[in-house]
A = this chain, B = another copy of it.
Amino acid sequence: MINKIVKSTEDAVKGIFDGAVVMIGGFGEAGSPIELIHALIDQGAKNLTVISNNTGSGHVGLAALIEQKRVSKMICSFPRTSNSTVFPDLYAKGEIELELVPQGTLAERIRAGGAGIPAFYTPTSVHTPLAEGKENRVFNHQTYVLEYGIKADFSLVKCKAADRYGNLIYNKTARNFGPVMCTAAEITIVQTSRVVELGKIDPENVVTPGIFVSRVVEVSNPVHESKLVFENRTYP
Question: Closest chain B residue to A122 by CB distance?
Answer: B117
Proximity bits, A135-173, B CB within 8 Å = 1, else 0: 001011010100010000000000000000000011110
State the Cβ distance, A103 to closest chain B Cβ, in Å. 14
Contact residues, A28-60 vs B (CB, 8 A): none
Measured CA separation A144–B119 after assembly (Å): 9
Which chain A residues have a beta carbon within 8 Å of chain B's beta carbons? 108, 112, 115-123, 137, 139-140, 142, 144, 148, 169-172, 202-205, 207
Question: Closest chain B residue to A118 by CB distance?
Answer: B139
State the Cβ distance, A97 to closest chain B Cβ, in Å. 21
Question: Closest chain B residue to A203 by CB distance?
Answer: B172
Contacts of A118 in B (CB 8 A): 121, 123, 139-140, 142, 144
State the Cβ distance, A148 to closest chain B Cβ, in Å. 8
> Is the CB–CB distance between A121 and B120 below 8 Å?
yes
Given contacts A169-B204, A205-B204, contact A122 B112 (CB under 8 A): no
> Is the CB–CB distance between A120 and B116 below 8 Å?
no
Measured CA separation A144–B148 after assembly (Å): 13
Measured CA separation A170–B204 after assembly (Å): 8
Measured CA separation A139–B146 after assembly (Å): 12
Contacts A118-B144, A169-B204 known; 4 new A-B pairs at CB < 8 A: A108-B117, A117-B120, A119-B121, A171-B204
Question: Closest chain B residue to A170 by CB distance?
Answer: B204
Measured CA separation A67–B117 after assembly (Å): 37
Contacts of A169 in B (CB 8 A): 204
Measured CA separation A154–B121 after assembly (Å): 24
Q: Which 7 A-B pairs have the closest CB atoms?
A: A120-B120, A118-B139, A205-B205, A119-B121, A117-B120, A118-B121, A118-B144
> Is the CB–CB distance between A108 and B119 below 8 Å?
no
Contacts of A172 in B (CB 8 A): 203-204
> Is the CB–CB distance between A112 and B120 below 8 Å?
yes
State the Cβ distance, A149 to closest chain B Cβ, in Å. 9
Contacts of A139 in B (CB 8 A): 118-119, 148
Contacts of A116 in B (CB 8 A): 122-123
8 cross-chain CB contacts under 8 A: A116-B123, A117-B121, A118-B121, A119-B121, A119-B137, A119-B144, A139-B148, A204-B207
